[in-house]
Amino acid sequence: MRDLAVQSANGGSQDEQSQKAANKEFGELKTELTRIAQTTSFGSQKLLDGNYNGTFQVGSNGDDANERISINLTTAGVGDLTGTGLVGTAELVDSTPAGGTAAARIAENVTASQAAIESLDTAISKVSDVRAQLGATQNRFEHTINNLNVSIENLSA
């Protein structure tokens, strides 16, 4: 999507038809990202809709908070990446630009495309933050599994 926004922002080589074509593809990609966010689930738990908050019991002492690992994606801003929140504007370029010359309409679409680039950069940053958070949690799970395997081996011995 960012590549399309950059191409569309290049008013020097993109005419109005090229910008409209990029906008169609941009809209379809946005629709697909929204569909993925709304349908991705594990069991009945929606994972990417911005509402996931789960706690995993990793130890045998149920009442000990140190025996649980929590994943909270409600504060990570994942919900902001779905729907219209992804780019902040409904379209990559203004689909009904004001009248005037073709050059004026292209310039208007360039401005909209530049705004989309900034919004996409923000979205990419949010995705990177969420990936870092999930990566750190995955490492915690791996260390917990290794620790539990050592405990099992010691118990068996």
Maximum average pLDDT range among 20-34, 64-78, 101-115: 20-34
Kindly report, residue by residue over 81-120, the tens digit of the pLDDT. 544 334 344 455 555 555 566 677 677 778 888 888 888 8
Q: Answer whether residue 47 shows pLDDT above 70.
A: yes
Q: What is the pLDDT of residue 100?
A: 61
Give the integer Cα–Cα distance in Å for 154 and 61. Answer: 18
Provide the 3-class DSSP secondary structure of residue 23.
Answer: helix
| Averaged pLDDT, 149-155 | 91
Q: What is the pLDDT of residue 98?
A: 56
Q: What is the pLDDT of residue 139?
A: 93
> Model-level pTM?
0.66
Average pLDDT, the chain: 78
| Averaged pLDDT, 48-52 | 79
- What per-residue string of b and e applies to 24-47 under the rule 16 or more CB within 10 Å gives b? eebbeebeebbeebeeeeeeeebb
Q: Which residues fall within 8 angstroms of residue 110, CB to CB, at 6 or more apart?
A: 8, 9, 10, 11
Nearest one of 112, 83, 117, 82 to 95, comparing CA atoms: 112
Give the integer Cα–Cα distance in Å for 52 and 42. Answer: 11
Provide the 3-class DSSP secondary structure of residue 69.
Answer: strand
How large a percentage of the chain has pLDDT more than 90? 6
